[in-house]
Structure 1
Amino acid sequence: MSVEEYGPAWRRGPFERGTDGPHVILAGVDDTASSARAGAYAAGLARRQGSRLVMVYVRAPSAWTGMTPTLLAGAQEETYQDVVEELRGRVAGLAKEANINVTLEVRRGDAYAELKRAAIDRKADLVVVGASESAGRRLVGSVAQRLVRAALWPVTVVP
């Protein structure tokens, strides 16, 4: 797992009755269009609420990698590195543009399990994810659906 900070330092503001919103917003990000929209939505919400934004990218290994590790592992690792580099650029730009603190976490494993673990570890008040663009979600359920069913925090699913 790697953790990187971008933008100004974040501090919890003073409590105001009726106006305190989420203090920590966690957004699940990857290289899809719905994820980019979810990240932008979470950044805007974090800016307006004075919240800390934690963006989490989960590197989920393919089932095929275990079958032919020498052929696919190198290519998959290179793809992951490309996605992480792209995310670093987008996150740094977002932090600068919105003048907010953004933490980028890169984790490895199952997307649902790692997002849930990150939200618990960071004591997230809200989880924001993009709607699934995968046809396979009908068989096992999307990450967003599973997060909603976990019922641990409010979950916003951005189309």
Structure 2
Amino acid sequence: MTADERPGGPADERPDRTPFEYGADGPRVIVTGVDGSDTSLRAAAYAWGLARRGGGRLVFVHVTQIASLSTLTPGGAEVMQEAAGEIVAELERDIRRAYAQAPVDHEIVTAHGDPYGVLARVADESRADAVVVGASTQAGHRLIGSVAVRLVRAGRWPVTVVP
């Protein structure tokens, strides 16, 4: 069988067959959660590569959890807000450096609340094709479930968990 006789070869020019386009069938909108942890930063780097190779858009999501105990102490909520602001500023610096090397269409969404709820809402609103998150390093999450496990159980998007 010659190359011209193989399916998809020059002899197979039927109008009902479209040519294969490498990279055109991947996720177009990718949502990734970033909390400043090593695993979330690895997840963000992985998601950046997916978006870059596939020509997709990347939505970074940073969620600030306001712990109930922090609001009971004087200035506790302010300290939590300040720490969240530092994480987002560092994320923006990292994104600018990455963008200079390999441009990717992206945006940063910041919100307060439950990380699972915010990630799910942003993924739904942005019509995400994929969600990428870092694996939890907290021992308690093995028992009660992590954000990643909750996203997988929701079953609304493909979820990649990066170690």
TM interval, shorter chain, is: 0.7 to 0.9
CA offsets, 1:117-148, max 9 Å, x none?
00001000000000001122134210000000
Look up the match of 1:117: 121
C-alpha deviation, 1:95, in angstroms: 2.3
Q: 1:71 & 1:99 partners in 2: Cα distance?
A: 39
If the length of structure 2 is used for normalisation, what is the TM-score?
A: 0.82
Task: Select the structure of larger CA radius of gyration.
Answer: 2
How much does 1:49 deviate? Answer: 0.5
TM-score, normalised via structure 1 length? 0.84
Q: Following TM superposition, by how much is the alpha carbon of 1:97 offset from its aligned partner in structure 2, in angstroms?
A: 1.9
2:133 pairs with one of 129, 132, 152: 129
Q: CA deviation at 1:28?
A: 0.7
Asked if 1:41 is matched to 2:33, the reply is no
Q: Is the 8 A contact 2:34 2:61 kept in 1?
A: yes
Structure 2 vs 1, CA of residues 115 and 16 (structure 1 numbering), >3 Å: closer, same or farther?
farther
Aligned to 2:145: 141
Determine the structure 2 residue equivalent to 1:97: 101
Mean Cα deviation higher: 56-65 or 40-49: 56-65
Q: 5+ unaligned residues in a row in structure 2: which ranges?
A: 1-17
Does 1 or 2 have the higher relative contact order (CA < 8 Å, sep 6+)? Answer: 1
Aligned residues: 144
CA separation of 1:154/1:108 partners in 2, compared to 1, >3 Å: closer, same or farther?
Answer: same
Q: Distance in 2 between matches of 1:108 and 1:141?
A: 20
Identity rate of aligned residues, in percent? 46
Secondary structure of the residue that 1:74 maps to in structure 2? helix
Secondary structure (helix, strand or coil) at the match of 2:150 reads helix
C-alpha distance in 1 between matches for 2:60 and 2:100: 15
Tell me, yes or no, if the aligned pair for 1:43 and 1:98 is still in contact at 8 Å.
Answer: no
- Distance in structure 2 (CA, Å) of the matches to 1:132 and 1:99: 29
Contact 2:64 2:81 in 1 (8 A): no
- RMSD over aligned Cα atoms: 1.7
Gap runs ≥5 in structure 1: 1-14
For the residue of structure 1 that corresponds to 2:78, the secondary structure is helix
